[in-house]
Structures are given as C-alpha cells and as structure tokens.
Amino acid sequence: MQEFEGKRALVTGAAGGIGRAIVAALQARGAKVAGADLAESAGDVSLCGDLTEAAFCDGLPEQAAQALGGLDIVVNNAGIITRGKITEATDEEYARTMAINVEAPFRLCRATIPIMERAGGGAIVNVASCWGVHPGPNHPLYVMSKSAVASLTQCLGMDHAHQGIRVNAVCPNEVNTPMLRTGFAARGFDPDKAVEALDASVPLGRIAEPEDIADVVVFLASDQARYLCGALIEANGGKAVQ
C-alpha cells in the first residue's frame, strides 16, 4: 500500500516549477491530486482560475473535494515575486502581491478547514520562503507577503490542531524554477550562468531543484509529520539569508 493511497490533495500553482514537482511527488505516493493554476496544469483534475478572484478561492477547496471525493491535503504553493525597493513599488504591485501570496492562502485555508474538520482532520502545507523568516534585501513586498504566510501558518497550526488539522510550511531559499530563471532573464543575465553562480554560494553546492522542496511538502503532509503543527521548515542547503 502506498503512503498516500486514498488521499485527495489540492495543489495551487500546479503549472509552475515547484507545483508540478509537488503534484508528481504526491501522485507517485498514491494520492489523487487536483491542480489549480491560471491555465491547464498537472494533476488528475485541473481546476483553472485566477487566485486574485475571491469567489474562485472561496470555492476552490469545495470544487476540489467534489472532483476528488474528499480533501485531505491542501498545498498553498502559488505565488509571485515582486522585486525592487519600496520607493519603486506601485499600488498595483502591492495589491497583486498581497492578493496572490497572502489573501489567496487566507481564503483557501478558511474554506478548507471546515471541510477537513467534517472529515476528522487533514494537512495544509504552505509554501512560504526563507525570506518569510529572515528578511532579505530589495524585495520588501515579497518578503512581507511571505512573512504573513509564515505567521498565518503558525497561527493556524495552533488554532486547528485540536481538530486534527495540521498546518505547516516549507521555507525554501533559491529554487531552480521559472520564477527564479525569468527573474534573471528580465534583468539581462543568462539564467544558466546565474544559477551556476548561485550554486557556488550554497554550502551544499547547489541551489534547490523543485523536487527537493516537493519532498519536504510530502513529509509535512504525511503521517511522518504527525506531531508538527505550525512548523516553518527551512530548506536552504545550509545557505543563510544574506
């Protein structure tokens, strides 16, 4: 019997670098997965929609539960990175960063908890960032949004443990995904060379691949993590935030 046999999971940002790897890792262990993203995504079921739309977020856990026959695991993975100092930030960037990185997980957790409570429990895993735990330079909007996700995780971890609902987060440092690579390309760097340079800055010798993060998500969603509630697990290859 596989570890997640009979389990039903919703993963947001399922068309992205880390999201795809999370979907594959859950499926490989026997889970049925609904992937949510702006367009068609990985998963047994693909639920398309925009997480900045309140009604889509509010209804997504129920939509996933209906499509899969229940909901045991929710992974709030979708996110955007907004770069630049606060003096360069526009109102639109502020609103969009908060809508996708903070308001969507808030709405999704709020809608998920009653479903999981009725079923006797479940696991929510948020994808925050090491920058949600230790602030990094020149990304104040992103950093404050991820610190809100970290804080939300700690609060819900406390508030819903008595219902058998565990809420935890993985906090990655740099991961080799489109988010990172398109950022380099947009700033005029060759993404391969930039990733190579970053690899050299990590004590373990390389930045994370999406699968490294997916394995932590799988752990947090699994019974192996049965006593973890509100934990923020940093996955950084030994590299501290500078």
List of residues 6+ apart from 219 with CB closer than 8 A: 225
214: amino acid identity, one letter = A
Give yes or no for residue 37 binding ligand NAD (CB under 6 A).
Answer: yes
Torsion of CA 58, 59, 65, 66, to 10 degrees: 170
**Which residue has tokens 């990094």?**
136
- What does the radius of gyration of the chain's CA atoms come to, in whole angstroms? 17
Residue 65 or residue 78: which is nearer to ligand NAD going by CB?
78
CB 176 within 8 A of CB 145: no
Give yes or no for residue 17 binding ligand NAD (CB under 6 A).
Answer: yes
Structure tokens at 226: 């049965």
Give yes or no for residue 79 binding ligand NAD (CB under 6 A).
Answer: yes
Minimum CB distance to ligand NAD, residue 220 (Å): 14
Determine how many CB atoms are found less than 10 A away from the CB of residue 44.
16
DSSP 6: T
Give yes or no for residue 241 binding ligand NAD (CB under 6 A).
Answer: no
227 is catalytic: no
Minimum CB distance to ligand NAD, residue 162 (Å): 28
- The size of the chain, in residues, is 242
Give yes or no for residue 59 binding ligand NAD (CB under 6 A).
Answer: no
Give yes or no for residue 168 binding ligand NAD (CB under 6 A).
Answer: no
Residue 84 or residue 164: which is nearer to ligand NAD going by CB?
84
Give yes or no for residue 11 binding ligand NAD (CB under 6 A).
Answer: no
- Distance in angstroms (rounded) separating the CA atoms of residues 88 and 73: 38
Identify residues 92-111 at the interface with ligand NAD (CB under 6 A): 100
Give yes or no for residue 237 binding ligand NAD (CB under 6 A).
Answer: no
Identify which range of 8-16, 58-66, 110-118, 188-196 contacts ligand NAD by CB under 6 A: 8-16
Torsion of CA 96, 181, 184, 143, to 10 degrees: 40
- Distance in angstroms (rounded) separating the CA atoms of residues 242 and 239: 9
Out of 4, 19, 165, 216, name the contact with ligand NAD by CB under 6 A. Answer: 19
Q: Which of 142, 146, 171, 213 is catalytic?
A: 142
> Applying CB under 6 A, which residues contact ligand NAD?
13, 15-19, 37-38, 50-52, 77-81, 100, 127, 129, 172, 174-175, 177-180
> Residues with catalytic annotation?
142
